[in-house]
Structure 1
Amino acid sequence: MSAQPPASVPPENPRPPDRAVYEPARSTSTVPRPGSDFAQLSKRIVAAGLMRRRTGYYTLRITLVIVLYAVGWAVFLLLGESWWSLAVAGYLALVFGQVALVAHDVAHRQVFRRRRASERVGRLAGNLGIGMGYGWWQDKHTRHHAHPNHEELDPDVTPDLLVWNQAQARSARGLTRLIGRTQAFLFLPLLALEGFNLHVSGVRALRNRAVKRRGLEGSLLFAHFGLYLTALFLVLPPVLALTFIAVHQCLFGLYLGSIFAPNHKGMPMMRGEERPDFLRRQVLTSRNVCGGWFTDIALGGLNHQIEHHLFPSMPSPQLRKAQPMVRQYCAEMGVDYLETGLIASYRQALRSLHHAGAPLRTDRSR
């Protein structure tokens, strides 16, 4: 969405050796314009047929996820009162992650053309399937896509328990200030709480009148909680049931965090009126993760994060095909395109978190 290379990084946010952080070019453009850099890329992508629906793929994928979900609970019931049920908890954590990825693709209209069908399946997968408030999450995720890594506009980088740059660290208070000092070391343990956070946030959002169809959202959410807890405490003794919940939800949160954390953490942060054009806003704040078919399955195609942010309604199996075209186009435009391995992506993200918390380690007076 123009072809100016990224500016240098300000002194408080130095560029790591592996180029994990950039500062994007400034621009007042917020949407794609006819004839813009993004429009030219979009024409190439559409001409290649990469925006077409993949009905067969999603039919197979959703069917497989449903079968895996059912098999997990069936094995749980067959095992009964057994510590082997904790292995089922680990298995179901992975399956819940795959259900979340299906809900993600549905929300982006990758599966169904019609909004109503997308919302119905999304709520069944999110609210009833895994206890995630679909309406709350969709609203948050839409705002993230519109303004990735923007301090005031992206809810994913709003300081909560963590701070994402040194400016946020200097104004941090309370628990955020305490955690921020060692947040790079606490990041992965905190991800284990993400499953619980999804449940709590979904329930809290039911008080928000902006959430559509709150009655249905709440009914499906509490139906999930009721069925989940009833099954656990009917089959398992209390101590084992609580242990199952801890293992299942913590591994689920860790898996979700493993999917989403490599995509933007440690990438450029924007603030105020800093609004580069659409192409640069999406490319410069996103990071791709290298890998083969297994990486695509494990991360739900979101390892091609740059392509996903540029074309959020593109079916996930098409993202790998689009990647060479997007990478080549960015080279033509002089736009930095970052692609790294999974371990390197975490290293970059953790290094950025450690750097962001530096003011809290040097000022312990408050």
Structure 2
Amino acid sequence: MTTKLEDKHAGNGDLVGEGQPYLGEKYQTNGKPVANGRGEISVKQEANGKCGVPRKSLNMYSWQEIQKHNQKADQWLVINRKVYDVTGWANKHPGGSRVLNHYAGEDATDVFRAMHLDLDIVKLYLKPLLIGELAPEEPSQERHKSSQLVEDFRELRRTLEAMNMFKVNPVFFFLHFAQIMILETLAWLIVWHFGSGWPVTIFISFLLTISQVQCFLLQHDLGHISVFPKSKWSRLMQKFMMSHLKGLSTCWWNHRHFQHHVKTNIYPKDPDINTGPLFVNGYLKPVQNGKKKISYINYEKQHLCFYMGESLEPLSLSYRVLEFAWVSSFYIHYFIMFGPFYGIFGTILLIFLVKFLESPWVAYVTQMSHVPMRISKEENRDWLSAQVLATCNVEQSFFNDWFTGHLNFQIEHHLFPTMPCHNYHKVAPLVRSLCAKHGLQYVNKPLLKAFGDITR
């Protein structure tokens, strides 16, 4: 179903709410926005025809038509009832092309709002992709979704925004970062003062393990939020934490992690559960492997080595020279710090020992909230239901918050990825109340039970 609709102002295809400024941008032939010096013009002015913006004719589409465009070579998204053709843009998407493809042919309003920090920037790239909107008789979401549940969730988000729950406290992250630097410095001072004997080596390995884990947990938050006024400084901080202090590629991490967030526990779209051939998670993959008689290890014993395989995955080195340099700087700074005491071979062994101690900690913290939960094929659920079914929390305490880096509030983190972690405990009661209203089970476990559920 494709008919024509007269759009009274060209600015109605953006994703900010009514009353937000329209930038009146122009576009080059390649679709990129360029500055034109017009300044900000309100939507109201445009609607009254004061800006001289020509009326734009948009197609109207049914959900039946939109859902046909769900292939890699033909990708449409619906956001706030607007239809966008993102096929040509997908390979330029900063979060990776797969993230867009995972939502092709679906309503992506809530996931779009959840994953983007600055809508004013993103809308510049969306405008040239606008091809139409939903027909007036079509619901705002696919027909199988509960419109009341979706609206209640969006109202919750508006409430949290009014409460400034998405506002970052830089002091919190500075103290977290200071903890990491103090641990690394203390490890070096101990070796410098007491020598490199085995007792000292084991002790500093524990200090460096704590530093590595806390570094991983901190950069996890930095990958989602903007601590500094300009997001590029937050990205630089994430590279420093993830690549220089941790030794992993931020591009590799972000592209995998964004897929995990948008399609949590959906096989094969979530790379965190697509861990074959070494491990098979949930009920779908084991059955599939069993029918095909595929067996790489004794899967009945996979829990014995699961934590090692999860954390010591092969490092995916980026083809970018700068990314490779960032990752290499991790090993360089370790050799500079500990090479004079242990030599080259001894420093390599120290790094391996730290990674060996770190692996079960990271694996259990990152997997406790997802592996025991529902793992399924694509079901195209609403944002709230999809995240609550695939995610669980761990009870709050000072130790649990520190030990998990606030990943014990995974439900809140997955619903609002751009919210700073120090606010999760404040919004948890509101999320729990909304789940109860719509009959969704809000799972909150003790820490040891969450760890045990991974093995079970």
Q: So what's the TM-score if we normalise by structure 1?
A: 0.78
Q: Match for residue 145 of structure 1?
A: 261
Select which of 84, 89, 95 maps to 2:211: 95
Q: Match for residue 56 of structure 1?
A: 171
For the Cα contact (< 8 Å) 1:99–1:130, is it kept in 2? yes
1:187 is the counterpart of 2:265: no
1:226 is the counterpart of 2:341: no
Q: CA 1:166–1:279 in 2, change beyond 3 Å: closer, same or farther?
A: closer
**Separation in structure 2 between the aligned mates of residue 275 and residue 97 of structure 1, nearest angstrom:** 34
Q: Match for residue 74 of structure 1?
A: 189
Structure 1 or 2: larger strand share? 2
Look up the equivalent residue of 2:177 and give its one-letter code. I
Q: CA deviation at 1:277?
A: 0.3
For the Cα contact (< 8 Å) 2:393–2:444, is it kept in 1? yes
Select which of 166, 187, 199 maps to 2:283: 166
Q: CA deviation at 1:232?
A: 4.0
**Separation in structure 1 between the aligned mates of residue 229 and residue 383 of structure 2, nearest angstrom:** 24
Q: CA deviation at 1:339?
A: 0.6
Q: Match for residue 346 of structure 1?
A: 451
**Separation in structure 1 between the aligned mates of residue 246 and residue 295 of structure 2, nearest angstrom:** 28
Between the two proteins, the alignment pairs up a number of residues equal to: 311
Select which of 288, 295, 305 maps to 2:410: 305
Give deviations 1:303-356, integer Å, cap 9, x for gaps: 0000011111111111011111111111112111111111111222222xxxxx
**Which ranges in structure 1 are unaligned for 5 or more consecutive residues?**
1-27, 208-213, 352-366
For the Cα contact (< 8 Å) 1:93–1:255, is it kept in 2? no
Look up the equivalent residue of 2:172 and give its one-letter code. Y
Q: Match for residue 294 of structure 1?
A: 399
Q: Match for residue 43 of structure 1?
A: 158
Q: CA 1:76–1:171 in 2, change beyond 3 Å: closer, same or farther?
A: farther
**Separation in structure 1 between the aligned mates of residue 402 and residue 293 of structure 2, nearest angstrom:** 39
Structure 1 stretches of 4+ with a deviation exceeding 6 A read: none
**Separation in structure 2 between the aligned mates of residue 289 and residue 322 of structure 1, nearest angstrom:** 15
**Separation in structure 1 between the aligned mates of residue 450 and residue 360 of structure 2, nearest angstrom:** 16
Q: CA deviation at 1:291?
A: 2.9
1:114 is the counterpart of 2:230: yes
For the Cα contact (< 8 Å) 2:335–2:344, is it kept in 1? no
For the Cα contact (< 8 Å) 1:29–1:275, is it kept in 2? no
Select which of 374, 380, 402 maps to 1:275: 380
SS at match of 2:390: coil
Q: CA deviation at 1:150?
A: 0.6
Q: Match for residue 9 of structure 1?
A: none
Q: Match for residue 116 of structure 2?
A: none
1:126 is the counterpart of 2:242: yes
1:320 is the counterpart of 2:425: yes
Look up the equivalent residue of 1:54 and give its one-letter code. N
**Separation in structure 1 between the aligned mates of residue 382 and residue 283 of structure 2, nearest angstrom:** 25
**Separation in structure 1 between the aligned mates of residue 272 and residue 295 of structure 2, nearest angstrom:** 15
**Separation in structure 1 between the aligned mates of residue 294 and residue 380 of structure 2, nearest angstrom:** 31
SS at match of 2:366: helix
Look up the equivalent residue of 2:394 and give its one-letter code. V
1:201 is the counterpart of 2:201: no
After alignment, is 325-334 or 229-238 more displaced? Answer: 229-238
Q: CA deviation at 1:230?
A: 5.2
**Which ranges in structure 2 are unaligned for 5 or more consecutive residues?**
1-105, 111-139, 141-146
SS at match of 1:264: coil
Structure 1 or 2: larger helix share? 1
Q: CA 1:222–1:303 in 2, change beyond 3 Å: closer, same or farther?
A: same
Select which of 438, 446, 456 maps to 1:333: 438
Give deviations 1:246-303, integer Å, cap 9, x for gaps: 321111222211221111011111213x111001111111010013111111111110
Q: Percent identity?
A: 24
1:65 is the counterpart of 2:184: no
RMSD after superposition: 2.5
Select which of 109, 113, 129 maps to 1:31: 109
Look up the equivalent residue of 1:183 and give its one-letter code. Q
For the Cα contact (< 8 Å) 1:96–1:252, is it kept in 2? yes
**Separation in structure 1 between the aligned mates of residue 450 and residue 323 of structure 2, nearest angstrom:** 35
**Separation in structure 2 between the aligned mates of residue 107 and residue 251 of structure 1, nearest angstrom:** 24
Q: CA 1:258–1:77 in 2, change beyond 3 Å: closer, same or farther?
A: farther
Give deviations 1:137-189, integer Å, cap 9, x for gaps: 01111111011001021110113211013331244489963142311233245
Which of 1 and 2 has higher RCO (CA within 8 Å, sep 6+)? Answer: 1
For the Cα contact (< 8 Å) 1:29–1:276, is it kept in 2? no
SS at match of 2:168: coil
Q: CA deviation at 1:115?
A: 2.8
